[in-house]
Structures are given as structure tokens and as C-alpha cells.
Amino acid sequence: MARATLHFFMASILHCGAFKFLLERPLVVGIVNVTHNSFSDGGRFLDPSRAIAHGLALRGDGADLIDVGGESTRPDAEPVALEEELRRVMPLIEALAREGVPVSVDTMKPEVMRAAVEAGACMVNDVNAFRAPGAIDAVARSGVGVCAMHMQGTPATMQVDPRYDDVVAEVAAFLRARASALEVAGIGAERIVIDPGFGFGKTLAHNIALFRALPALATMGYPVLAGLSRKRSIGDITGRPVDSRMAGSVAAALLAAQNGASLVRVHDVKETVDAMKVWRAFGV
Ligand code: PMM
């Protein structure tokens, strides 16, 4: 199906602080995790200068936004203390923002949200969908974009036998409720992104059901972000270890975009950008 026919959401421009993103093509969000234990890039970017160089390289590869995270959300990951998370992410956010790079911060903590926005982050990406006390307040008046993701349980427990009666209906209802809570706090729809949270308290069957529901989620009135890059689902489908999942991840990003995702969150920016360009050039 042509993308134009799936372009249902009302806001065709995503407002992220000083940045306005025209959603006529999928945005590619590049990932930099400043953690020791993220499943894919854990330990690679703990050194600030390496993290900054990697963020700038991803921008050079064509990333529209760089998503900076300091707390791994992999299944069974231990929570990171506030001071440690700030220490990890702030130098990177400050450096990228100074270079004019649109930066998103991937955090569940209101204090990190505030500090990141103060330092120039234009988007806050919360896998906890702004449910922590004070999280909505931390972003409401700032003008930054917000991404609210669905997660069942917490990272510590989420992959222990996740269950749903109807995964698509439950995730859609959750996202609708969180988007309403954000709007009630004064955050306009043009600032809101929703995300079904692939791999966050979901089996492969749940992820596949949600993937097939992307066209429906894209009709809810908000741009949809899809994050499948190098995840276990890609490994389950291809039989590949985490460092060999690039082709599967690019295929997933392309299919997600074709099915209505407006943003794809990826590690392999250059390859994903190329795939999107080829798709758009052929126009099918
Ligand atoms: N996945 C991860 C972390 N943050 N944020 C959003 N909005 N959506 C995701 O799917 C998502 C996320 C885990 O992946 P990583 O450890 O490679 O960053």
C-alpha cells in the first residue's frame, strides 16, 4: 500500500522545540546509549568523546534526531541512579545541541528530562510514557516533542511471561490514555509521538500482532515511532546474534515506515536512510 494512503495522523508537522519536522517522509532517529549494558551498543560509548563522535557521525549519516540514553532498559537491567544518569547523558546532549543537532533524551526520570531540555534537547522519549510523578510537568511548558511508549511491567520483570487478552486493543487504549493525559497538561498533539514499545513486555507473537496493527495505530491522531533495531524479535526471526541483525533491522524499519510509522529508531542509520531513499525513489 502506498505511504500516502497511510498518512492519517492529523499533525503533519512534528513540533520539537526549535525544530519542526515535516512528516512527509519517515524520520530516522539514531541511537546512542551511554550505558555499560545496553543489549546492542552497551559499553561502547561510556567515554564522552567517543559518544559525541558517534552522535555526530550518525547525524552525518542522515539521522534526523539523535536519541541519547543513559539507562539500559534491557530485560532485567538494574535501575541507574539519577546522578549517574545525568553524568552519562549531559555532556553528550550539551555537545550535540551546541552543534545544532536535534537531540532526544531517552529517560524515565523527570529530573533528567528537565536538565536535558535545559541543555537543548528538543525531544523527550520516555519508555514509561510519562507515568512517573512529575514527568508530565517536566516537559509540559517546554515546547519539546514527547514520545510516549507502551511497556508492560518494568524492565526488571517485563519479559517474565507477558500476557494480554488482546495486545493490540490494550496497547492502543494505553497510548490513547497517555496521549490524553499529555494533552490535558497542555501538550498539543503536534508535539506528541506514540510508540507500541516493541519488546517491552511482549513475546514475538505480541510484537508481530502490533507490527501488523501499525496502520491502525497511525490513525490515532499522533505520529507513531517504531523501534525494532537489533532487538530479540529480529534475532528470533533470523536466528542471528545481536551483532548480525542489521539487514533484518533495516527490513523491519522499512516495513514499519511502509505501514505507517513516521519515525524509526535505529542503530544502523546510514543503511536505514539508504533503504528509505530507495523506497521513496521507486515510490511504491
Ligand atoms: N527501545 C529501547 C530503548 N528506548 N524508546 C522508544 N521510544 N522505543 C523503543 O522501542 C525503545 C526506546 C531499547 O533499545 P536500545 O537498548 O537499543 O536503545
**pLDDT one-digit tens code per residue, 61-119:** 999 999 999 998 887 788 899 999 999 999 999 999 999 999 999 999 999 999 999 99
For 189, phi then psi, to 5°, come to -55, -30
pLDDT at 2 over 70: no
Residue nearest to atom 8 of ligand 1 (CA): 227
Whether 31 and 72 have beta carbons less than 8 Å apart is answered as no
Distance of alpha carbon 247 from alpha carbon 105, whole angstroms: 26
Active-site residue flag, 202: no
User: Which pLDDT value is given to residue 40?
Assistant: 77
Per residue in 46-77, pLDDT (tens digit) is 888 999 999 999 999 999 999 999 998 887 78
121 contacts 69 by C-beta, under 8 angstroms: no
Site to probe by mutation for ligand 1, drawn from 27, 31, 35, 229 as the one with most ligand atoms within 8 Å of Cβ, is 31
Contact 237/262 with Cβ under 8 angstroms? no
Mean of per-residue pLDDT scores for the chain: 93
The residue nearest atom 9 of ligand 1, judged by CA position, is 227
- Residue 231 annotated as catalytic: yes
Q: What is the pTM (predicted TM-score) of this model?
A: 0.94
Q: Convert the pLDDT of each residue in 178-224 to its tens digit.
A: 999 999 999 999 999 999 999 999 999 999 999 999 999 999 999 99
**Ligand 1 atom 13 nearest Cα:** 73
Q: What share of the chain is helix, strand, coil (3-state, %, to 5)?
A: 40, 15, 40
Does the structure show a pLDDT above 60 at 3?
Answer: no
CA distance from start to end of the chain? 7
